[in-house]
Each structure stands twice: as C-alpha cells, then as structure tokens.
Structure 1
C-alpha cells in the first residue's frame, strides 16, 4: 500500500474523530490552539507563559493571544508567582476544568466505541505502530 493512501486514511480518521468530539461537546467554539492549551493546562497547571510556550512548541508571543482569549472567556486565570514576582503563572478556572472534564469524558466514550471494533492483538499492534510513528516525528 502506498504511503500517500495511508496518510490520507489517517488524516480522514483524525478529521472524523475531531468532528465527532466537536459535535458531542457543543460547547463554546475554540481554536485548535486554544483546545490544546486547555488540555496542557489541565496536566500542567501553574506554569509560566515561557514554560507553556515551550511545551506547545510555539513562540511566547503566539501563546499570549491564546492566553488572552481564554482568560476573557473565563477559562483560565493568571496569578503572580510568589517566589518571583516578575513571573505570571496560569491556572484553569472551575469553568475551564469543567470543559476539559467534558472533553475527556467524550474522548473516553469515543475511544471505547471506536476501538471496540479491534481485537486485543490489533489494539496492541496499533499502539506499537502509533508509538513508532510518534517517536520518528519527535526525533526530527
């Protein structure tokens, strides 16, 4: 099978999963970057803008706009760092945590539904293949 076909099939699956998650959550519209930042903050609360930019592999200036919009929508708050007053740390609000929780619940249900079509062996093979592809891209 040609790599182009595999790539297109992979992209199609990714689009369908995103569309289904977006349809199910029906919450406020967020950009890909905003959603990604919320997910990162859910795992790494209290980090500075510089640290978050490094985690997202984007410039701090680009992150600044995402932080501003999510703050205006009430999904995150910023607090001055106690140890170094020059640094601002970012945290999810209750509304931000609720949104992430709803997304995680929907991802869990989608994963259960989607992967129920695979056998245990196929799931292990898929896991191995995806890790191998991820490792390859991260190495570049």
Structure 2
C-alpha cells in the first residue's frame, strides 16, 4: 500500500475524531487552543506562563491571550508565586475542573465506541504502530 494513501486515510480519521470531539468544545465556545490549555492545566496545575508556553510549543504572547480569555470566563485562577512574586502560576477553577471532567468523559465514550470495532490483538498492534510513528516524528 502506498504511503500517501495511508497518510490520507490517517488524516481522514483524525478529521473525523476532531469533528466528533469539536461538538462539545463548540457548545462551550472554546477554541482548540483553549481546550488544549485546559487539558494541560488539568495535568500540570500551578505552572507558570513560561512553562505552559514551552509545553504547548507556542509563544508566551499567544498563550497570554488564551490565559486571559479562560480567566475571564472563570475557568482558571491566577495566583502569584509565593517564592518569586514576579511569576504567576495558573490553576483550574472548579468550573474548569467540571469542564475537563465532562470532556474526559466524552473522549472516553468516543474512544470506547471507536475502538470497539477492533479486537484486543488489533488494539495492541495499533498501539504499537502509533508509538512507532510518534517516536519517528519526535526524533526529527
């Protein structure tokens, strides 16, 4: 099978997955970047703007706009760092946590539904293949 066909099929799967997960994000009026930042904060609460920008691979100025909008919507809390008052640390608010839990539940449901068509062996093969592809791209 040609690589370009595999790549196109992979891209189609990715678009369909995004379309299904986008429904929840659109209902909540979040951009892809805002949603990604909330998911990141759920795993790494208390990080600074610089640390979050590095983790997201975006400029601090771009992140600043995301943080501002999410803060205005009440999804995150800013706290001044106790050891270095020049640094602000970011945390999810209760509203932010509720949103992340709902997104995680939705993603789990979509994943269960999508992968129900595969056998255990096929899931293991797919997992192995995805890890190989991720490793290949990370090496570049």
TM above 0.5, yes or no, is yes
2: CA distance, partners of 1:11 / 1:125: 19
Q: Secondary structure at the match of 1:84?
A: coil
Where in structure 1 do 4 or more consecutive aligned residues deviate above 4 Å?
Answer: none
Aligned residues: 140
Partner of residue 88, structure 1 = 88
Aligned partners of 2:25 and 2:31 also within 8 Å: no
Aligned partners of 1:25 and 1:106 also within 8 Å: no
2: CA distance, partners of 1:29 / 1:63: 17
Q: Secondary structure at the match of 2:91?
A: strand
Tell me, which stretches of 5 or more residues in structure 1 are unaligned?
Answer: none
1:58-73 equivalences in 2 (<5 Å): 58-73=58-73
Q: What CA RMSD, in Å, does the superposition of the two structures yield over aligned residues? A: 1.2
Shift of the 120–38 alpha-carbon distance from structure 1 to 2, 3 Å rule, reads same
- 1:26, distance to aligned residue in structure 2 (A): 5.5
- 1:27, distance to aligned residue in structure 2 (A): 3.2
CA shift digits 1:16-42 (9 cap, x unpaired):
112112225663121111111111000
| Alignment of 1:37 onto 2:37 | yes
RCO (CA 8 Å, sep 6+): is it higher in 1 or 2? 1
CA shift digits 1:60-119 (9 cap, x unpaired):
111111111111111111000011111000001111111110110011111111111101
Aligned partners of 2:25 and 2:35 also within 8 Å: no
Partner of residue 22, structure 1 = 22
1:1-140 equivalences in 2 (<5 Å): 1-24=1-24, 27-140=27-140
1: CA distance, partners of 2:98 / 2:64: 23
2: CA distance, partners of 1:86 / 1:74: 23
Tell me, which stretches of 5 or more residues in structure 2 are unaligned?
Answer: none
